[in-house]
Amino acid sequence: MRGSFLRGALALALIVGVAVPRFAAAEEQVVVVGWGGVWQDAYRKALFEPFTKETGIKVIEEEFGGEYAKLTSQIEAGKVTWDLAAFESPQVIQGCDEGAFVKLDWPKLGGRDKQIDYAAHDCGIASDIWSTVLAYDADKIKDGPKSWADFWDVQKFPGPRSMRNDPTDNLEFALLADGVALDKIYPIDVDRAFKKMDQIKKHVSVWWTTGGQSAQVLVDKEAVIGTAWNGRYYSAIKQGAPIAIEWNQGAIKESAFAIPKGAKDAYWGQRVLATMADPKLEGQYADIIGYPGLNLEATKYTDPKMVPNLPTSPVHLPKQYWVNLEWWADNGPAIQERWARWLLQK
């Protein structure tokens, strides 16, 4: 087993453009910033620990909520402490345009053609696909909501809601609740979406800010219906939480890892990226958390029993829509400001 992994390490070394592995000095490390919680646990088990064992590179893990401003402040101060960081893909696209990330040499990462559409960006490689879905407390509701129109229907489905404290996804959900078809969401009618959000605002008891909090809101009975990333709900369900997921009209997107401009050790960041592109590791990761990888061969290494829990399942995929990353990259900053003002309004 060790020998086969080492052969894999040699192959990966060739992918990133060196003839032989660069072995780590005792003090070498790579700082990887991620989303925390079960996401971080899954990456540690499927990737970070094997990577450290075979390369000698210590992975220093940090957690944050994807705040792009934290990166730009480091760059402006000339004190970049991250070697690799996970953001939502619109942020990676935006940051690439602004020069905040290093442009990748895709041929050395195996080529873009090995990745599912949406996965390969100029400055980032998507790590996993997830869907923001609707879910409900199955103890409280037996025949739950089936759409965002149902989520907004507080007469038919009474009780507090939870939603992410972010306009992304919520504006799309508002339009769907208002009768917009899946293929007509973009470009987003922002005024119409905020008007619809006005109707549900007072019924939202928790505006969650972290992935771990999103599912815990239902576990702790702070809300009876909520939104979260499917893997967060899956992990809670595995632990016995009475949560039911509704995949209809889910918002599919992906995280993307990128190397910040000015990273102290972009070499090891690149090596980690090459490892992330390995379909076997992507398959192992999906088995743990329910987020499929984006390598076209990754499903070969995913447990067939896991497929019904994946957003890319043939049953679930046709019911959902892909978030338009370019639209959010172009419009996100201004809408974030409007969202912050809207939350403060009574």
Q: Could you tell me if 216 and 334 lie in one domain?
A: yes
> Do 261 and 200 share a structural domain?
no
Tell whether 315 is covered by a domain. Answer: no
Residues 35, 140: one domain? no
Same domain, 211 and 339: yes
Look at residue 271 and tell me if it is in a domain: yes
Which residues, in sequence order, are CB contacts of 296 under 8 Å at separation 6+?
114, 115, 116, 279
| 319 assigned to some structural domain | no
> To which residue do tokens 């009574």 refer?
346
For residue 281, what is the domain's CATH number? 3.40.190.10
End-to-end CA distance of the chain: 60
Residue 125 pLDDT level (bands cut at 50, 70, 90) = confident
* Lookup: tokens for 243: 């949560």
Among 5-9, 85-89, 334-338, name the one with the lowest average pLDDT. 5-9
Mean pLDDT on 323-336: 91
Evaluate whether residue 111 is within a structural domain: yes
Tens of pLDDT, residue by residue over 104-122, are 888 877 777 766 666 678 8
How sure is the predictor about 160, in pLDDT bands with cuts at 50, 70 and 90?
Answer: very high
Looking at the structure, do residues 47 and 96 belong to the same domain, yes or no?
yes
Global pTM value: 0.75
> What are 229-257's pLDDT values in tens digits?
999 999 999 999 999 999 999 999 887 89
- pLDDT, average across residues 47-56: 86
Average pLDDT of span 204-209: 96
Task: Give the Cα separation of 329 and 97 in Å (integer).
Answer: 10
Give the side-chain half-sphere CA count within 13 A for 194: 14
pLDDT at 11 over 60: no
Which domain covers residue 136, as residue numbers? 132-252+326-344
- Between helix 89-98 and helix 68-77 the angle, nearest 10°, is 30
What is the per-residue pLDDT for 162? 98
> Does residue 116 share a domain with residue 7?
yes
Q: Residue 260 carries which DSSP code?
A: B
Same domain, 125 and 144: no
- 255: region left, alpha or beta (phi > 0 left; psi from -120 to 50 alpha): beta
The alpha-helical segments, DSSP class H, found in the chain are 2-15, 37-43, 49-55, 68-77, 89-98, 148-152, 170-177, 190-200, 211-219, 230-238, 266-276, 279-289, 325-344
The structural domain count of the chain equals: 2
106 within a domain of the structure (yes/no): yes
Cβ atoms 101, 261 nearer than 8 A: yes
Strand runs (DSSP E) across 99-197, as ranges? 124-137, 161-164
Let me know whether 336 and 210 are in one domain.
yes
pLDDT in tens, 57-66: 999 999 877 7
Is pLDDT larger for residue 128 or for residue 221? 221
pLDDT band, very low/low/confident/very high, at 78 (cuts 50, 70, 90) = very high
